[in-house]
Structure formats: structure tokens, C-alpha cells
Amino acid sequence: MKDLRRYLALKYIQYLVLSSSNAVSTLLGLLGSVYTVILLQSAKVSSKSTAVLISSLAQADILVFLSLVSDVVLGSFGASVSPTASALARILLTANTHVSCVLLSCVAFEAYLITFLPSESRPLRTVRNARLISRVIWTLVAAECALFLMDDHLRASGASAPSHGPLGLLFQLSSTAAALLRSLSYILGILLRIINVYIYYKIFFSMSPR
């Protein structure tokens, strides 16, 4: 459907083209996600694997809404709570960005399979597999953000954190793991941009008149 293609184009621009989010792209993304969720329910196209991935992509913007709410609600309690609100809002936005980027890449890869390997890939392009992929992505990103949150908490506690013993080792490991994961997330983001550009480049020229 044309509306879903427009929504995907908006999301690719928001997460894989723009260097950072801004108020306009965030608002358009939220409105597009609300419209897409309603459209998928009313049009009854959820039986397709691509629609399942797009639905999960639209639902990821709930995290953006929760981020805005937490920033406003917790920030209204004063300066003592505002650092917590800022950290929580940042983690929610990180989760939204990572889930959205990976789901967009899954949609692009499925488009590649449909274009070049339609019959061979049909057993893989099922609703069950799409739902499983979505759950795995959400679970991995949730674990990632939990690690980031714990690392932020440890950094905020500073001197009160133990430096020796099992707890000290645990804190050091979590800090190292969070730093490594942040570096990997940055590299993965660049790779996903390159892969998506390549996939749609191949699809575009395969569909262009020769």
C-alpha cells in the first residue's frame, strides 16, 4: 500500500538518513506511527510478514511518547529527580532508535528476498517468523538498555560503589560491557545504513527499465 510505503520512507529518513532526531521528525514519526497502527488494524493486512514488522516498528514509537511523559512528569518534581528523568528519557529514546533501525533493516532485507528470491524465500517469510524476529529484537534491545541503565546508575553513585570484592568486579564488568556495547551500537548503525542503501540500490535498478 502507498501509505505504508510513505511511512517506511519517513522512518528511513528519520532513523537512517538524519544524523540526529529533531522535533519535526519526531512529531511526524509519532503521527505516522499512530496512523499506521490504525491502518493495519482496519485494513486487516496483519496476515503478511512485512505488515507484522511494520506494526512492530510503529509500536516502537510508544517509547518516544513514554520518554516525553517521563521527562515532563519526573522533571516537574524538581532538580533532585531531573537527572533520573533525563537518564530514563535517554534510555527510552535509545531503545526506540535501536529497535526501529533493526526493524527497518529487516523490512529492507525482506524486500530484497521478495525481489530476487520470491519463491525460494517464501518458507522464511511467514507471520510466525516475523513475530519471532520482532520479539528477539525487542528482547535484545531491552537487555542492552538495562545494561546502560545499570551503568548510568553506577556512574551516578560514584564513590559509594565498591571497588574491591565480587561487587567491585561486577561493577567493572558492567561498565566495560556497556562501553563496548555503545561502541558496537555505533558501528552497527553505520553498517545498517550502508546495507540499507545497497539493498534499495539493487532493488531500484532491478525494477528500472533496461
In this prediction, residue 159 carries a pLDDT of: 47
Distances in Å between the Cα of 169 and the Cα atoms of 55, 146, 182 are 41, 18, 20
Grid cell digits, residue 4: 505504508
How far apart are alpha carbons 27 and 21 in whole angstroms? Answer: 10
DSSP one-letter code for 188: H
How far apart are alpha carbons 155 and 196 in whole angstroms? Answer: 36
For the chain, what are the domain ranges? 1-207
Residues in the chain: 210
Grid cell digits, residue 59: 509500536
Q: Are 63 and 35 in contact (CB under 8 A)?
A: no
Q: DSSP E strands: which ranges in 18-102?
A: none
How far apart are alpha carbons 136 and 28 in whole angstroms? Answer: 27
**pLDDT tens, residue order, the chain (210 aa):** 788 999 999 999 998 888 777 788 888 999 999 999 988 887 556 578 999 999 999 999 999 998 888 777 766 665 555 566 677 888 999 999 999 999 999 999 999 999 999 999 999 999 999 999 999 999 999 999 988 888 877 777 664 555 566 666 767 787 888 889 888 988 998 999 999 999 999 998 887 654
Q: Are 49 and 110 in contact (CB under 8 A)?
A: yes
Grid cell digits, residue 43: 485494513
Distances in Å between the Cα of 96 and the Cα atoms of 12, 90, 100, 192 are 14, 10, 6, 16
Residue 10: in which H helix or E strand, if any? Answer: helix 2-12
Q: DSSP of 102-115, one letter per residue?
A: HHHHHHHHHHHHHH
CB neighbours of 112 closer than 8 A, spacing ≥ 6?
A: 199, 202, 203
